[in-house]
A and B are shown apart, each in its own frame.
Chain A
Amino acid sequence: MSRHVVASIEEIPPGSRKIVTVNGREIGIFRIGDDFHGLINRCPHQGAPLCRGEIVSRLVAPSPGDYRLTRSGEMLRCPWHCWEFDIRTGQSLCDPNSVQARAFDVAVEPGKTLVEGPFVAEQVQVTVEERYVVVTV
């Protein structure tokens, strides 16, 4: 397992995403508030570029007609067949236990720590003052 510096936190404002390539693999980095999450950019259904899908809410209704908008900005809708995935876990809504997009550990580290290593920072210029998004693959 290796840890890769993929972005400064400024690059990914809350509610947005950045798709990065680590070891030849595309990973979507999503920011929900101050939490960062990583998902493989490949839908477990038929391989669509999942992380390019729309970021949506979870629509629920405990009873028909009783509509509630929950978890705004925490779901990802696949651009191909519209299956929905939980950005935090990669689990699908339709079959959470067997249809899952691979999730990666994402952390925020201060530049100061990063300079000390051992991190791979191919794509990002690290400075001591900034804070960075680090993904473990």
Chain B
Amino acid sequence: MNRPASDHLTGAIDCDIHPALPATRVLLPHFDPYWREHVLRRGLERENFEPSSYPANAPINGRPDWHLPSGPPGSSLPALQAHLLDRLRPAHAICNVVHGAQVMLSEDLSAAFCRAINNWIKAEWLDRDPRLRASIVVPPHSAELAVEEIERLAPDPRFVQVLLLAMTEVPLGRRQNWPIYKAASQHGLPIGIHAGSSFRHPPSALGWPSYYLEDYVSQAQGFQAALNSLVSEGVFVKFPDLKVVLIESGVTWLPASLWRLDKTWRGVRAEVPWLEEQPTETVRRHVRLTLQPFDAPPTEQQLHTLLEQLGSDRMLLFSSDYPHWHFDGDEALPSGLSAELIRKICVENPLETYPRLKETS
């Protein structure tokens, strides 16, 4: 890669990159003594808690030229700097660690691992490169412990978001999750909802799929259900300042889903009387989507139709999804976007979505 990088991403905000743990053992110094001993007694430091959605050898999970001599793709800061930060020169990149910690059955162990991961991200990544920001990883199955972790880290403005998964034990809008939204909203932290499942339920409403193809495509269905739940339960009415970022959700499913939501709402509105406006309006104000992996339609013209259907140029946020393989070279943006829209996607929309980026830049 000797050719100079194009500069259209200079100053952009990359809203989704994935630092990976080289091995669970690197977390040991970041546990408190009790949980360090717990982990060691059980030999958990020898386990690999990578979610099975990301099989290590699947090409999609590591772009070939981003592979490392040792360790999983994404596990080296110098490599991230060389591949992405120094090359595309984004102003910031937001680290989203997706890890088995988020789906553990023991709420306490899940919380302990999340704390260790957050400490590790802070010490090994944020403290070493001023361009990096991170999402707070929380135990999603315990609102109480998740809020504790949010409160612990909120004073550090480099944590800009709270990370959840699309498909966990209960639909995300349920009131038992509201303490998380309340804490996030109070601290100016959007809720990032990443593709993924705790696999307590099949990712498809029809049951367990046989192949990754089904699983990956069903993620959109999971996002759709998560979004329906957040809207219908009135989360955005209760927390009018809350923003939600759908991460790796794809985009093309959204307009059709919103049409259906609006249409159906007209007849059953009385059941959810807190929804005073068309759900699409609410979604346009509160929901954002990261770009990669972009399920772009095949032609530019179709892309424009899709953008028109979204009905807002404020919803898309630039992301590279480093180190996953969704584009080659520096072509992280789909072609056919106007300069103005690129500026919105890369800079203005992220700054509007993540108020904490302004505090620190």
Contact = CB atoms under 8 A, between A and B. Distances in A.
Interface stretch (B50-58, B231-239, B296-304): B231-239
Interface string A50-89: 0000001001111111111000000000000111100000
B274 A62 contact: yes
A86 B1 CA distance: 66
Most A CB within 10 A of own CB, among B175, B268, B273: B273
A57 to B, nearest CB: 9
A124 interface: no
Interface in A86-126: 92-95
A94 B274 contact: no
B87 interface: no
Contact of B274 (A56, A61, A93, A95): A61
B273 A94 contact: no
B269 interface: yes
Contacts of A94: 265-266, 269, 278
A83 B266 contact: yes
A63 B276 CA distance: 10
A92 B269 CA distance: 12
Chain A facing B: main interface SS: loop
Contacts of B237: 63-64
A59 B266 contact: no
B273 A60 contact: yes
A67 B234 contact: no
B274 A63 contact: yes
Contacts of B268: 82
A59 B270 contact: yes
Interface residues of B, number: 15
B270 A84 contact: yes
A63 B238 contact: yes
13 contacts: A56-B270, A60-B276, A61-B273, A62-B274, A63-B274, A64-B234, A64-B237, A65-B234, A66-B274, A81-B266, A82-B270, A93-B269, A94-B266
A64 B238 contact: yes
B267 interface: yes
Interface residues of A, number: 19
B270 A81 contact: no
Contacts of B265: 94
A64 B233 CA distance: 7
A81 B268 CA distance: 9
A39 B268 CA distance: 22
Nearest to A82: B267
Most A CB within 10 A of own CB, among B265, B268, B269, B278: B269
Contact of B273 (A56, A59, A81, A95): A59
Contacts of A92: 266
Contacts of A61: 234, 273-274
B230 to A, nearest CB: 11
Contacts of A83: 266-267
Contacts of A64: 175, 233-234, 237-238, 274
B276 to A, nearest CB: 8
Given A60-B273, A64-B175, 6 more contacts: A61-B273, A63-B274, A64-B238, A81-B266, A82-B267, A84-B270
A67 B267 contact: no
Contacts of A68: 273
Contacts of A62: 274
A45 B178 CA distance: 37
Contacts of A84: 269-270
Contacts of A60: 273, 276
Nearest to B234: A64
Interface string A25-67: 0000000000000000000000000000000100111111111
